[in-house]
Structure 1
Amino acid sequence: MQPTRKSLHIAIPSPLKRALLALESAGGTCRIVGGSVRDALLGLKPKDFDVEVYGLDLETIAKTLNPLGRTDLVGKAFAVVKLWTHGEEYDFAIPRRESKSGTGHRGFTIEADANLSEEVALERRDFTINALLYDHSSEEVIDYFGGLEDLERRILRHISPAFKEDPLRVLRGMQFAGRFEMELDDETAKLCREVGPEFWTLAQERIWTEWEKWAQKSKSLSHGMRALEKSGWIRYFPQLNALRNLPQDPEWHPEGDAWTHTLHCLDALIRETDWAELSEAEKTPLAFGVLCHDLGKTRCTRWALKRGAKHWISPGHDTQSIWLAEQFFDSMRSPHEVRDKVMRLVGNHHFLNTVPKGGHSDASLRRLAKRLAPATTHELVYVMIADHRGRPPLVSEAQDERIANFKIRIQELDLESSAPEPVLLGRHLIARGMKPGPEFKPVLDAAYDAQLEGTITDEESATQWLDTYFKGVES
């Protein structure tokens, strides 16, 4: 089949350019392949350049590249030579065939063949948008499978039935859909459903890797979730699946069921905040915090009397969301710092929904900051904004005002990034003649509680509080 060709200039790093020219001088044909080509077509800065080399064996590739930097056949089992030069790492692979030899993501037998045709070599790849070649000499993209059109139409489509041989590709599709605002092709979704039972063969750390990419790199978090739903793989995350068709009060949630609300909230997180300016590490707990904030509704939703009429209500769902979020994370090997933050965020996302007369006290806000740790009040603002703005077309001016005031208050109290640091420390107790031991903890806990209440504000007030505390103990 004759491929489609499209002119495109990609700025190739000079060390890589020298490597390509050296290999071609040795008789090889080099094609840049995969994500760097896709990203360049999307107007993104290409990185992680991967090269497929035709016509040369591994030893010749390594020998040719050796003068240009440090080389290694660490990927020999996968027919790959690695080159480290000028602080960068490049992979040079020989075309290969793969055949299924076991279960899961790694159950393959690989057969390298330097003389394989480009089209056949590309058939082992996952999606058409990742099977685009780049000829650096003619500055052309080479497309055998319609990847250019799919990229233009934002369709995520498999290349061949071999797609089913690697179940991890379903989750890769989820994060690609979010990153590039793509929809899953109908036939690809069918293959995803057929390979569903292979989910249980995936290593938990690989599952987390794809979810983390979804959280950190998505331009549209909801696109990723729609792809997960269409693939049928949402069933393997039952905490999310249970939100589908879960009714909500149409007066408060005109957008529809709890899953639809969650998708709107994910859109609002990106649309209504400075999401694009955040680092990947900052995005991770926020994306998962919004995704998981209403998981508890599956345990609490009921048809009951409220304000003199029957409504769908879900009292206490914020608390129930905590352990359901933990269950969700148990299906993958997520870092504890992420899951701990998410559990605190979902458990407190309704903080502003009940405001006492006169507003929240300073002590209440300090206690919230302590309760949220290791998450922060600043992070909670993102979740609250997303939750509120995820009910189109409904917007509450009162809630907007509450959130705005909350942001001012936590800034004034210096609570944006952490709870207050304890003023009274062990050294103060030692200075009072106490010996370090178990009796320190109740004193320090009581002192910190007094600090949250505002009784202790500095070392002088801490000393005064300590005098009163010891007098009370002695009496």
Structure 2
Amino acid sequence: MATHSDEHPAPSVGSTRSPSGVLVGSVTCPNCATDRRRGHAHRCAAPELVTLPAAAVELLAAVRAAGGHPLVVGGAVRDALAARSAPGPLDARVAPPAAVAPKDLDIEVFGVETLDRLRPHLAAVARVDDVGASFGVLVATVGGLDVDVSVAGEPPTPAGEAAAFARRDLTVNALGWDPGSGELVDVWGGAADVAHGVLRHVGPSFSDDALRPLRAAQFVARFGWTLADDTVLACRELAHLHDTLPSSRVWGEWKKLATRGLHISRALTVLERTGWLDNFPALAATRGIEQDPAWHQEGDVLTHLGLSADVAAAAAEAERLPAEQRLLAVLGALVHDVGKPYVTTVHDDGRITSHGHESVGDPVAQDFLAGIGSPHVVRDRIGGLVAEHMCHVGVGGEPTPSAVRRLVRRLDGRSGLTIHDWARVVDADVAGRGPSAGAPVSGPWVALAGDVGAKPRKSLLTGRHLMSLGYEPGPAFTDIIRAALAAQDDGEFDDEAGAVAWFVAQEVPRVS
């Protein structure tokens, strides 16, 4: 995979590690400008850092009633800090996430030993789900807000906070906000890493969960941040454990990457640097596969897939697509050319062709999606997008109504794909080519689909018509209706009378 010009080494921000792997060194808090040491207790004023809806305030009161000291932790604090920060100094093109009220919260409770002590108090104000209890988490739902509540198992002291946050994966997630005092709690320098756009693991406990490298790639996709060099090495040491992970957890990270990410090519670079790309053979196989520079000046197929997925993600963000449609667009763009490694030919005259890669790529893409745990309907739909992404090339000039009708029917047969799902992947393919990027090509197809019907019409010829003509129901009806549908899509008739007339003209013998 070609190295992107926007890849930079992570700034050190004064960080080193002890021989045991614990993060040490100096850091400056961007919130209060205090120079301090990583791993040492640090609190500073950050009033109203996290916007808390009324339902969350009620839950926090219930935690206090149980004798607990609650901190808002993790993503809500990270995202609130990122929204306050300027883009990272190494890359002004990477903007922080927009400041929004969190839709879900993580609360860690200090001073309480067990979930059992919290449960009755939470149940008095919310619906409590024990689904995560085996992992030390209760899910409390109230007022449309989902709150993960965990117990730290530590006292509400500086030492207790340091110990609890040391168990978290990345410094940017090892952040807390005390809703009682309005203070930022930052033991491991995560606020500075947010400001610099760096993902850095906290310490040796990073290896406790083999999913964390994939989680890091997902964060890179979402925020465009950089993975620290020592964290790259920590991720590499876990690469061989991928197959031990439940597919549901793996799919959770890929789904977030596709539905929230804007920097998919950067995530691919992280997977490559950490050795995790080899856990996804369909993508790894595209590494180093040449493409004809007449059409693809950006580099190998893997580079093209990353750039195409970036385009799809940006377009989905601009359109504010629902998550389901964005998932199809981004993952469809990411895997649309996975068939190329199996059919690419370098000719004696220097031309490079990959004839038939779309049909070969359909099962390859579905195998990749099955491996990452995607639902069957997603596999079928994305396989359909891969299979059809070249159909516009085979039509010289403007598409015909019959070509559009046939495409719409084939797409609908892949778990209800639409012409718009197809168009997003096709246009991302054309635009994701670096210096040789082209303008969108789907417009005439989408426009004509609007004229002839963006949903395929049912067969105008039915079994009822055949029986009225004296034909006995049987297996032959299926073939007759299929042929009638093809003729209908070719525009040979457009109403029931025309359908019957067409059939009569076929002179199909009656079987006695």
Q: TM-score range by the shorter chain?
A: 0.7 to 0.9
Q: Which one of 272, 276, 279 corresponds to residue 236 of structure 1?
A: 279
Does residue 46 of structure 1 match 2:93? no
Pick closer, same or farther for the CA change 1:244–1:66 going to 2, 3 Å.
closer
Instruction: Decide whether the 8 Å contact of 2:174 with 2:188 is kept in 1.
Output: yes
Pick closer, same or farther for the CA change 1:75–1:403 going to 2, 3 Å.
closer
Residue in structure 1 matched with residue 504 of structure 2 by the alignment: 467
Instruction: Decide whether the 8 Å contact of 1:155 with 1:183 is kept in 2.
Output: yes
Q: Distance in 1 between matches of 2:319 and 2:230?
A: 32
Question: Matched residue of 1:345: which SS?
Answer: helix
| Structure number having the greater helix percentage | 1
Residue in structure 2 matched with residue 102 of structure 1 by the alignment: none
Q: Which one of 238, 259, 267 corresponds to residue 310 of structure 2?
A: 267
Question: Matched residue of 2:149: which SS?
Answer: strand
Residue in structure 2 matched with residue 379 of structure 1 by the alignment: 421
Say which is worse superposed, 194-203 or 58-67, in terms of deviation.
58-67
Aligned residue-pair number = 450
Question: Matched residue of 1:44: which SS?
Answer: coil
Letter in 2 for 1:362: P
Letter in 1 for 2:487: A
Q: Deviations over 1:218-243 (max 9, x none)?
A: 12222322222222100011111122
Q: Which has the higher contact order (CA 8 A, sep 6+)?
A: 2
Letter in 2 for 1:34: G
Residue in structure 1 matched with residue 358 of structure 2 by the alignment: 318
Say which is worse superposed, 313-322 or 183-192, in terms of deviation.
313-322
Does residue 126 of structure 1 match 2:165? no
Q: Distance in 1 between matches of 2:121 and 2:388?
A: 59
Say which is worse superposed, 4-13 or 75-84, in terms of deviation.
75-84
Letter in 2 for 1:14: A
Q: Distance in 2 between matches of 1:76 and 1:380?
A: 42
Pick closer, same or farther for the CA change 1:79–1:405 going to 2, 3 Å.
closer
Shift of 1:76: 4.5
Residue in structure 2 matched with residue 108 of structure 1 by the alignment: none
Question: Matched residue of 1:393: which SS?
Answer: helix
Shift of 1:272: 5.0
Shift of 1:467: 2.7
Q: Distance in 1 between matches of 2:508 and 2:66?
A: 88
Q: Which one of 318, 322, 346 corresponds to residue 386 of structure 2?
A: 346
Q: Distance in 2 between matches of 1:142 and 1:268?
A: 37
Letter in 2 for 1:252: W
Q: Distance in 1 between matches of 2:129 and 2:352?
A: 62
Question: Matched residue of 1:129: which SS?
Answer: coil
Q: Which one of 172, 175, 178 corresponds to residue 135 of structure 1?
A: 178
Does residue 226 of structure 1 match 2:262? no
Give the ranges of 4+ consecutive aligned residues of structure 1 lying more than 6 Å apart after TM superposition. Answer: 112-116
Question: Matched residue of 1:252: which SS?
Answer: coil
Letter in 1 for 2:339: G
Q: Which one of 119, 138, 143 corresponds to residue 62 of structure 1?
A: 119
Instruction: Decide whether the 8 Å contact of 1:204 with 1:331 is kept in 2.
Output: yes
Letter in 2 for 1:364: A
Question: Matched residue of 1:162: which SS?
Answer: helix
Shift of 1:291: 0.8
Q: Distance in 2 between matches of 1:180 and 1:408?
A: 35
Question: Matched residue of 2:509: which SS?
Answer: helix
The aligned runs of 1:43-442 (5 Å cut-off) are 43-58=99-114, 59-71=116-128, 75-96=132-153, 117-271=160-314, 275-305=318-348, 309-356=349-396, 359-373=398-412, 374=414, 375-396=417-438, 400=440, 402-415=441-454, 418-442=455-479
Give the superposed CA RMSD.
Answer: 2.5
Q: Distance in 1 between matches of 2:132 and 2:310?
A: 40
Tell me the percent identity: 34
Q: Deviations over 1:262-312 (max 9, x none)?
A: 22212222345665410000011111111111111111222204xxx3222
Letter in 1 for 2:204: P
Residue in structure 2 matched with residue 12 of structure 1 by the alignment: 52
Residue in structure 1 matched with residue 71 of structure 2 by the alignment: 31
Structure 1 stretches of 5 or more lacking a match?
97-111
Q: Deviations over 1:60-88 (max 9, x none)?
A: 32344443344566655444444444454
Shift of 1:190: 0.6
Residue in structure 2 matched with residue 101 of structure 1 by the alignment: none
Letter in 2 for 1:388: V
Letter in 2 for 1:421: K
Pick closer, same or farther for the CA change 1:21–1:190 going to 2, 3 Å.
same
Instruction: Decide whether the 8 Å contact of 1:33 with 1:130 is kept in 2.
Output: yes
Instruction: Decide whether the 8 Å contact of 2:313 with 2:326 is kept in 1.
Output: no
Q: Distance in 2 between matches of 1:425 and 1:67?
A: 59
Letter in 1 for 2:411: L
Instruction: Decide whether the 8 Å contact of 2:128 with 2:140 is kept in 1.
Output: yes
Question: Matched residue of 2:352: which SS?
Answer: strand
Q: Distance in 1 between matches of 2:351 and 2:295?
A: 10
Q: Distance in 2 between matches of 1:298 and 1:193?
A: 25
Q: Distance in 1 between matches of 2:108 and 2:125?
A: 18
Letter in 2 for 1:54: F
Say which is worse superposed, 269-278 or 217-226, in terms of deviation.
269-278
Q: Distance in 2 between matches of 1:210 and 1:325?
A: 18
Residue in structure 1 matched with residue 10 of structure 2 by the alignment: none
Instruction: Decide whether the 8 Å contact of 1:447 with 1:456 is kept in 2.
Output: no
Q: Which one of 457, 464, 467 corresponds to residue 494 of structure 2?
A: 457
* TM-score using structure 2 length: 0.81
Shift of 1:431: 4.0
